[in-house]
Amino acid sequence: MLNPRHLFRAALWVRNPPSMKRVIMVFSFVAIALVIGGIEWLGLWPDWAKAERIPRLP
């Protein structure tokens, strides 16, 4: 379901759009995250860089 807040934020973005520099920065962060996720999904991420769960002591 569409939240009215999303429409309000979209209207604000139309009236005062973010700068091109900010748009490029956000898309580059998203692209970096997708590349890292893809590398991990393919199994190419090194073992030393993976997080391991530490067992809790009783």
- % of residues, the chain, pLDDT over 70: 98
Q: Which domain range does residue 38 map to? A: 4-48
Classify residue 53: in a domain, yes or no: no
Could you give the C-alpha distances from 4 to 21, 35, 58, in angstroms and in order? 28, 33, 47
pTM of the model: 0.64
Of 14, 37, 18, nearest to 26 by C-alpha is 18
Tokens of 56: 């809790």
Q: Is 58 among the domain residues?
A: no
Q: Is the pLDDT of residue 1 over 70?
A: no
Contacts of residue 45, defined as CB under 8 A and 6 or more positions apart, other chains included, come to 36, 39
Residue 57 lies in a domain: no
Model pLDDT, residue 41: 93
pLDDT average, residue stretch 2-11: 87
| The pLDDT value given to residue 56 | 86
pLDDT, mean over the chain: 90
Q: Is residue 28 part of a domain?
A: yes
Residue 37 lies in a domain: yes
Q: Is 56 within a domain?
A: no
Choose among 9, 25, 6, 7: nearest CA to 17: 9
Q: Give the model confidence (pLDDT) of 27-44 as tens digits.
A: 999 999 999 999 999 999
Residue 30 within a domain: yes
How many structural domains is the chain composed of? 1
